[in-house]
């Protein structure tokens, strides 16, 4: 089965990785740093999500992303934690921009998440990859990741495959 790729940045990549690892149809999550082009060519924490579009649509992945990070908050750490969808083709870029516009009505505040073309990826250090799968009881995980997973379980129950039931994802290209 052919996989589709899209990348997401928003908050800490440990959190973002755990969120997408918890979804059916997501086959691999690469945690690290993504760069786009021009003024967004600096690296920002993000993940590349490899998914089966027949099982989970880009629309669902974007909605999950918007609901599991501060997608309406333009805080001072946005250079490190760019709120973004990084696309791998022009058609995916157009689809993502249309979907973002459609989701705006679900939010009281303006969505700040931007759509950028994907340019480069640098993987995180091995010690930080699959962070939640390796460390679910650590304070960071219980304080920051578990609440995001609760949102997924509540809002996207048809797509949940709890991380503890999935095998650890490889993070190689």
If you ran DSSP here, which 8-state letter would residue 166 be given?
Answer: S
- Phi/psi for 80 (5° steps) reads -75, -35
Is 12 among the catalytic positions? Answer: yes
Q: Which residues does 94 contact at the CB level (< 8 Å), separation at least 6?
A: none
45, β-bridge pairs: 33
Q: Which of 6, 7, 12, 29 is catalytic?
A: 12
Match 């609760």 to its residue by tokens.
150
**Residues with catalytic roles:** 12
């Amino acid at each position: 089965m052919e996989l589709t790729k899209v990348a997401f940045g928003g908050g800490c990549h440990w959190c973002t990785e755990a969120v997408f690892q918890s979804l059916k149809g997501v086959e691999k999550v690469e945690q690290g740093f993504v760069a786009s082009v021009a003024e967004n060519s600096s690296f920002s924490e993000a993940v590349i999500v490899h998914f089966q579009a027949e099982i989970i649509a880009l629309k669902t992945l974007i909605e999950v992303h918007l609901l599991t990070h501060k997608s309406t908050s333009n805080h001072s750490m946005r250079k490190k934690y760019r709120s973004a969808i990084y696309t791998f083709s022009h058609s995916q870029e157009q689809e993502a921009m249309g979907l973002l516009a459609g989701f705006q009505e679900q939010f009281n505040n303006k969505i700040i998440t931007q759509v950028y073309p994907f340019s480069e990826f640098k993987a995180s250090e091995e010690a930080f990859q699959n962070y939640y799968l390796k460390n679910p009881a650590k304070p960071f995980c219980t304080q920051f990741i578990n609440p995001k997973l609760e949102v997924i379980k509540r809002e996207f129950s048809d797509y949940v495959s709890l991380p503890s039931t999935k095998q650890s994802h490889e993070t190689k290209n």
